[in-house]
Structure 1
Amino acid sequence: MFINITDSDTADNKSSSADLVHYLDKENRMNKENEPQLWFNQDHRAIPSYQPMQAIDNNIAKLSKTDTKFFLINISPSQKEIAWLKEQFSDEGAKDQLKDYAVKVMDEYARNFKRPGIDSNKDLLWFGKLENYRYFSHKDKEIQQGLRKRGERKPGEQMHIQVIVSRKDMTNTMKLSPMNNSKGLNAEHSRRMGQFDRSAFKQSGERLFDEQFKFDRGLNETFAYANAKKKGGLEQRVAMQSERRNRTPLTYRPQQETQQIRLVTPAIVQILTKPIQEAAPHIPIKKKKKRNGPEQDQGLSF
């Protein structure tokens, strides 16, 4: 499970969300023969595009022209995870299940701020959009090597969800930035200003998927293992392998035990909960242009 929060160092998410909403509607324009995928949130599953744009753009009280107004969360199951969903719930059922899962991911997003009054996705202003495909962009090596054309559809299972979430909470009074991982001057300062552990958020999304869908994830497919490999060393990976061998397979655990499942050992908690110092990727969103040819991606890394 790949979960990423995208920020922009340009004015793209410092003004209107109209360009991003328009871009994320591209499949409806490119595949008019299919049933259009509308936006959704915790309460509704068929939200027309103008509503997310208006809601996000009007939820900016006390934000300056240079402040970020919204963030984009990319929730992308692996091809193995998508195949598991379709096996369990059918092609259409998998889409509904993935939307339900996204709602719970937004619960984890809210709780990760550790702010009074921000307890679930209902305290946030957010809208999700399911996409069925991905497209080759200039960043892909296949494009650079001349093997594919820009805008061509990528093969395999590519179903994923994009979520636009407002910088301000549902009441339009509290600023919430997932890019704030500062510890602050002291504990009280951190509680007041808020901080967000992106590593913990990504791992919680993985845990949710495994528990909700009884998916038995291979050790080398876990965020914890990848993080230990990148930030830790051999000792931590060996400890994880030892625990995995002694752990009852997830698919055979009784329902009442699923909430007690943990993917990490105490020995590696310290390295796995250490915030990752990651640079915010650049996602320029170009203004809409008239074209006669097929719709092109706009350089967004989704």
Structure 2
Amino acid sequence: MYITITAQKLGANYSQSVADYVDYLEKENQLPDIESDHEFFFNQKEDDISPEVVIKEIDANTTKLKKIEPKFYSITVNPSQYELKKLQNSTEALKQYTRELMKNYASCFNREINGRPVDVSDIKYFAKIEHQRAFKGTDIQVKENQVYATKILQLKNEIQKINRGIIEGSVRKIEGEIKSLETNAPHQQNGKRITQGMLKEGNQSHIHIIVSRKDVSNSFSLSPGSKYKASEVEMNGKMVKRGFNRDDFFQKAEKTFDKNFQYQRNFVETYQARKDFIKNPKLYFSAIMGLPASEKALAIKMLRETGMPMIPVVPFSKAQLTVKLIKSIQKGIHAALRSGSIGI
């Protein structure tokens, strides 16, 4: 599970309307060959919410917010392939999980509204499930294929010049070189070189959640971007609680999924494992080596499937955990975390 919370920006400025982001989330519904049904927005109690309603509700819920402050946040929830396999009805199960997740989200605010803790009923949000995902220019597969893509483009330009009589050469020979480059590119999908914009194969279901900065009454600011986990500050002569505990939210998100779907999480998928990796990579790899044989085998399989470099494989003894090896694998794990394959 990989979850991100971001304030939406347009360049250096915060978006003053959610319209552009809603349009972006509608892109899958506009695909002519989409296999899944049309997906509508939903919230804690309602389904089949139109994009027009989302825009109207979020844009109107910004009282007293300045232009330099975020008006809304985007939460993106990316289950791994292993987690998605556990869901029998992907759309309905993900909706169920989203609604439980937003209860977790509300509980992680160190705020009070009218003398009580923040509840999910205070959160104004709209969520949408998408079932397809395209390769981006930042994906490791696209980046490592770029050398081949550049050379192929150069050769195609040469063919155009030959056809226009600008230069001399053999079109057939160049086409053979292009075919060889297409075949030898390191990252392939269904026999084709992976390129930016190509749809990823397999179940790519994920969740986008738009959350208003203000509560449903448009009176209280609830910022998950707060730099404070929990503190109090004096405002207008009164002590006011503030803060959002992201660490607690990520842990609850994982536990909620496991409980709702009886998911047996491997060590490398856990939030604690990611924390160990960031703070102490050697401890992380040592923990993998200490797993029971079957769990260790699955952990290594999961890591290999992320595309991270195994040189030659994840080490099988603590003695093999050299600084050089850790650094070489560390880069790959960061890419895996960003791709949504492992971690939160």
Counterpart of 2:24 in structure 1 is 23
Displacement after TM superposition at 1:2 (Å): 1.1
Match status 1:189 vs 2:188: no
- AA partner of residue 131 (structure 2): N
Aligned residues between the structures: 238
Counterpart of 1:3 in structure 2 is 3
Q: Paired residue for 2:253, among 194, 201, 205?
A: 205
Q: Distance in 1 between matches of 2:8 and 2:123?
A: 20
Q: How does 1:63-82 map to 2 (within 5 A)?
A: 63-82=65-84
Q: Paired residue for 1:220, among 268, 272, 276?
A: 268
Counterpart of 2:178 in structure 1 is none
Contact 2:15/2:71 (<8 A) preserved: yes
* CA radius of gyration, larger in: 2
Displacement after TM superposition at 1:41 (Å): 0.5
Counterpart of 1:177 in structure 2 is 223
Q: Paired residue for 1:113, among 99, 109, 118?
A: 109
Counterpart of 2:211 in structure 1 is 165
The C-alpha deviation readout for 1:112-142, integer Å capped at 9, x for no partner, is 1121135332111100000001111221233
Instruction: Between 30-39 and 220-229, report the one with greater CA deviation.
Output: 30-39
TM-score when normalising by structure 1: 0.71
The C-alpha deviation readout for 1:131-172, integer Å capped at 9, x for no partner, is 001111221233332343322101222101000000101110
SS, match of residue 240 in structure 2: helix
Match status 1:99 vs 2:99: no
Q: How does 1:37-56 map to 2 (within 5 A)?
A: 37-56=39-58
CA RMSD of aligned residues (A): 2.7
Q: Distance in 2 between matches of 1:94 and 1:214?
A: 15
Contact 2:129/2:206 (<8 A) preserved: yes
SS, match of residue 28 in structure 2: helix
Counterpart of 1:270 in structure 2 is none
Flag as ranges the 4+ runs of structure 1 deviating above 6 A. Answer: 236-242
Unaligned runs of 5+ in 1: 246-300
Distance 1:43 1:97, change over 3 A: same
Instruction: Between 195-204 and 21-30, report the one with greater CA deviation.
Output: 195-204
Contact 2:61/2:212 (<8 A) preserved: yes
- AA partner of residue 50 (structure 2): P
Contact 1:13/1:71 (<8 A) preserved: no
Contact 2:4/2:75 (<8 A) preserved: yes
Instruction: Between 44-53 and 6-15, report the one with greater CA deviation.
Output: 6-15
Counterpart of 1:128 in structure 2 is 127
Contact 1:74/1:162 (<8 A) preserved: yes
Distance 1:11 1:60, change over 3 A: farther
The C-alpha deviation readout for 1:276-299, integer Å capped at 9, x for no partner, is xxxxxxxxxxxxxxxxxxxxxxxx
Q: Distance in 2 between matches of 1:38 and 1:236?
A: 40
Counterpart of 2:202 in structure 1 is 156
SS, match of residue 75 in structure 1: strand
Distance 1:32 1:123, change over 3 A: farther
Contact 2:14/2:68 (<8 A) preserved: no
- AA partner of residue 108 (structure 1): N
Larger strand share, 1 or 2? 2
Displacement after TM superposition at 1:192 (Å): 2.2
Counterpart of 1:59 in structure 2 is 61
Counterpart of 2:140 in structure 1 is 141
Contact 1:228/1:237 (<8 A) preserved: no
Instruction: Between 190-199 and 67-76, report the one with greater CA deviation.
Output: 190-199
Distance 1:108 1:43, change over 3 A: same
Q: Distance in 1 between matches of 2:127 and 2:64?
A: 25
